[in-house]
Chain A
Amino acid sequence: GQQVMQIPQYQHVQEGEDFTTYCNSSTTLSNIQWYKQRPGGHPVFLIQLVKSGEVKKQKRLTFQFGEAKKNSSLHITATQTTDVGTYFCAGPGGATNKLIFGTGTLLAVQP
């Protein structure tokens, strides 16, 4: 079945450093979504990318969808302690477009 992997599994940075997480799907995706889950919380939608090669920015966050629509990345510039959490990518899979989540990247930011 379809698999969505993310690397790294865990990243610890000093506040102010940059951070990137990578998402790779075993199949081509019609779109890619990114979610953030704060410790103890539930996932919250951040953004959706649809077009091949698409790049979108949200303040310090930059999202990219690969040309082949099988991979994506999230880059955070100058991390802050409020960025702490687990970042998940997700894509629709199968004939019924069920939402399949990646394995997630846990980001820890040291002040």
Chain B
Amino acid sequence: DGGITQSPKYLFRKEGQNVTLSCEQNLNHDAMYWYRQDPGQGLRLIYYSQIVNDFQKGDIAEGYSVSREKKESFPLTVTSAQKNPTAFYLCASSIEGNTEAFFGQGTRLTVV
């Protein structure tokens, strides 16, 4: 089955630790995105990538880092510099930037 997979679904970390969220797609999509969603809030763009080995900051990139070494993979690292990391993180991909986006199931990160 083609799709986009995020893992894990739930993640707990202690404050001060870095954590990496996985996002893999087998849709052969060029564009990939990371969004953050807080309770009752919309989707805020963290980082996006239009092509392998290239990515751009979104509106709330501070405290986050990404890599795009392979077309299929776009991992997101939440660093200790992120002040309020507890949130629902959604990864998405699309054929190109202005087309339909497919979302993963999301990772709910809780930092204690």
Residues of A within 8 A of B (CB): 1, 30-31, 33, 35, 41-45, 48, 88, 90, 92, 96-104, 106
Contacts and interface: CB of A to CB of B under 8 A. Distances in A.
23 contacts: A31-B98, A33-B101, A35-B101, A42-B103, A43-B103, A44-B103, A45-B100, A45-B102, A48-B99, A88-B42, A90-B101, A92-B97, A96-B97, A97-B97, A97-B98, A98-B33, A98-B58, A99-B33, A99-B94, A101-B42, A103-B42, A104-B42, A106-B40
B33, B42, B59, B105 interface centre (most CB from chain A within 10 Å): B42
Given A30-B98, A43-B43, A98 B90 contact: no
B93 to A, nearest CB: 10
B101 A42 contact: no
Given A31-B98, A42-B106, 6 more contacts: A90-B101, A96-B97, A99-B33, A99-B45, A102-B42, A104-B41
B50 interface: yes
A30 B97 CA distance: 11
B85 interface: no
Interface of B: 33, 35, 40-45, 48, 50, 56, 58-59, 90, 92, 94, 96-106
A92 to B, nearest CB: 4
Top 9 nearest A-B pairs (CB, nearest first) are A97-B97, A92-B98, A101-B43, A42-B103, A97-B98, A103-B42, A104-B42, A45-B100, A98-B48
Contact of A101 (B35, B50, B100): B35
B104 A42 contact: yes
Contacts of A44: 103
